[in-house]
A and B are shown apart, each in its own frame.
Chain A
Amino acid sequence: MSPRSLDRTFIGRSTEYGAHLGDTYRVYPSVRSMPPTQAGQQSGRRGRVLSQNLLALGFTSFFTDISSEMVVAIVPLFLTTTLGFSFFGFAAYEAAYQGTNAVFRIWGGSIADNRQSHKKTAATGYSISAVTRLGLVLSALVAWVPAIPFLLADRIGKGLRTAPRDALISLSTAPDRLGMAFGVHRAMDTAGALLGPLVAFLVLSSAPGAFDAVFVISAMFAAVGVAVIWMFAQEKPQKQVNQNQRPRIIDQWREVKDTKGVAKIATAVGMLSIVTVGDAFIYLVIQQTSNLSARYFPLLFVGTALVYLVLAVPLGRLADHIGTRPVFLAGNALLIVMYLVVGFSGLGLVASLLCLGLLGAYYAATDGVIPAMVSQLVDTHIRASGIAFVTVVIAVARMLSALLFASLFETLGKTSAMITLSIAMGVAVLVSIQLMAPRNVMTND
């Protein structure tokens, strides 16, 4: 047996096949709980990354993102123009929407952990979203069928699937390859997000105004995504603490919170998210500052996504080598540079491109790295809840951030607001370095 296959066998015991093979094998819920010698071996040889589950989930996300971005691309301003929402009505809707998403995210994480059914829960979420496409086809063909309930149901599906899916990725991957695994997944996800609007455009250019055709094709992609996850993804059941007595959500969350390092990581991530300005806002500032870039406005998203796509895997690998926390913190530090560029420059072409590059690199260094970081801490039987916990903290922090920044920008103006933010981000990064220091978070990484 070659060293590599030995290594695979080892990984198999610890995470992949453990529960399938029965109790004969000692199942190690996480790196942290492994005997020191084995954990030591772990860092010497690296497990495989492209497991069947990762590929299945990656392709599911790829097809689903094509499907959903097709819809997003052709329903611009749907709420404000069609329903005539006011600004505050829109803000209230946004809040309700985010709230619903958070509730279903928590719920999805809890169910997946309780029943050890990460695949089933995630696949159900994907299936709900796929079915809503048929509803949209109906609403495009029949005048009195509203589209809104289907758009909302799609978000429910999204909330439900996110945490179980990320948990399943982590459970299917060796602990020291998590960064790369999430990088691969996010890259496939982003590739789908980039292709979606293109497909929608191609459909609409061959059949102008035929939104039903866009929704039908979107449903086709969603169906392929759903088929992939149901057929190819496999459950990775872990040992259960209480077979007969399923813990309540509140208990799961208490356990997540009490896991060493989680509270500190969540505090750091939440704090950093509060001083993180949303990409939509950065695009708007770039667009408004420089008339030159008006034509590039739709391309700003594409530029950022391309950088993210390219950097997701390399930065994930880097996280596996030097640790998730340094990469995550460095990603946030990139935002300081971006804030200063936005604040001080007239945002010509070069500065705008630099901002997009920094923003894309920030996403590559954080979006997939956060679940990898959480997975390294949280025990397998509450993995999905742990990921849900941290992502909900981020969502709440981003909502606060949007409110905070709107008022900051109004009162201080662009340059002062960006300087203030970059200082705040600098402080937040320094505090996070302390909070996330190895002694505070984990013993081996």
Chain B
Amino acid sequence: MTDETTATDETTTTDEGAADTKRKAMLLGGMAAALLLFGGLYLAWASGRVNEDLADRNERAQQLVDDFEASRGPADEPNPTSAPIPESGPSLAPGEVMVVHRVPGDDYGRLAIRHLDGTRTLLDRTCMRVHIATDHGVCLAENEGVVASFTTTFFRAENLNADIKSYASALPSRARISPDGTFSAVTAFVSGSSYVDIGAETTTIVTIDEIDSNRLLRGANQFTIDSDEARFNNQNPQYWGITFAADEDEIYVTGFFGDKPEVMHGTLDNMTIEPTGWVGSCPSLSPDGKTLVFKEMTADNSFELVVVNLETNTKHTLGETRSVDDQVEWLDNDTILYALHREGGDTVVQPEFDIWMLDIAEGSEPELFLPNANSPAVAR
């Protein structure tokens, strides 16, 4: 066979091939267009479905909030959620509580003040989690954008527009301001998003910050452990959920060294921590420093709240039967507040939470403190 015939053969093949390719390309184009149309229609339907669902949930939640307020205060008061936003910020009276508003819809995630009568005023700042003490507040917020990113911002509780400083953060989880407003402690998930599998997929970072200075952040893993026990040789301990005492030095923090999370006690000045012997996590110290509440993990991976009287060193389980995955806040020296995810509610899109109130005395039962809100922070 000569080169000439080869060339002819190839030309024929190429011509046929070209026609064939063109036909196939048109077929593919048609198919892609049909798929694009179907995908677009499905997306439009899904988007409509989601919006409808959200509108439904908004209506139901708003009704719940209205009913709650009506059951507590005079019925003829104007709807406080539609009240104008204060210009500079709220002045919180002692006993008023700053919360994150959890009514699905446009206002979801905004800060709000729960007044003594159970009504609320919405504020002009959006946070995933908030805490305040004195004039200092910390807001953990998610940024808008393609990749998930988060910002920790310190602000003046009396003037929401006055930021003190802010920095980038990982997925935020717990926030506390020390009683005098000197320090803040923020826990974020470096990886994972659940305390159930801490040490495996979930790793956390705690940063302690002096709010009014520019001193470097201190991570809880920079603390020295004042103990010879073997488990503290773990090279990769996890810390989360700090609570501050009134002296601005003493702290309690959760530490995980490979087995079970335990409550550690420490001091900021010496940067040391030591084991307390209590197995549990997310401690919260009462304002008078006499009582500590934390959560214990049960056999079925849920959390129950326990209380320790630090003076008598006695412990009992609190009267909350549902699993509480929160660091509790103290309303006063005998009462705690915590948020619970609404049972059976949506867990993905604008999940709803309620704040519950519980007396720490044995045999007390929880009472609804505020529907459709979480992250309570009490003004003192």
Contacts and interface: CB of A to CB of B under 8 A. Distances in A.
A232 interface: yes
Given A87-B199, A224-B32, A77 B190 contact: no
B47 A206 contact: yes
Contact of B47 (A12, A84, A207, A410): A207
A287 B189 CA distance: 12
Interface in A276-307: 284, 287-288, 291-292, 294-295, 297-299, 302
Interface in B185-225: 188, 190-194, 196-197, 199-201, 205, 207, 217, 219
Contact of B207 (A85, A208, A291, A302): A291
Contacts of A291: 167, 205, 207, 217, 219
Contact of B197 (A9, A86, A203, A292): A86
B334 interface: no
B236 A410 contact: yes
Nearest to B9: A21
A23 B146 CA distance: 56
A78 to B, nearest CB: 11
B235 A410 contact: yes
B348 interface: yes
B147 interface: yes
Contacts of B42: 213, 216-217
Interface residues of A, number: 50
A84 B190 contact: no
A292 B3 CA distance: 66
Contacts, number: 124
B149 A295 contact: yes
A298 B148 contact: yes
Interface of A is mostly: helix
Given A294-B170, A297-B170, A410-B235, A220 B201 contact: no
B301 A84 contact: yes
B46 A9 contact: no
B31 interface: yes
A410 B235 CA distance: 6
A358 to B, nearest CB: 22
Nearest to B32: A224
B380 to A, nearest CB: 31
Given A80-B200, A410-B236, A1 B43 contact: no
Interface of B: 1, 3, 6-7, 9-10, 13, 21, 24, 27-28, 31-32, 35-36, 38-39, 42-43, 46-47, 49-50, 54, 146-150, 167-170, 188, 190-194, 196-197, 199-201, 205, 207, 217, 219, 235-236, 301, 346, 348-350
Given A17-B13, A223-B31, 9 more contacts: A209-B50, A210-B47, A210-B49, A224-B28, A231-B24, A232-B24, A284-B190, A287-B190, A294-B205
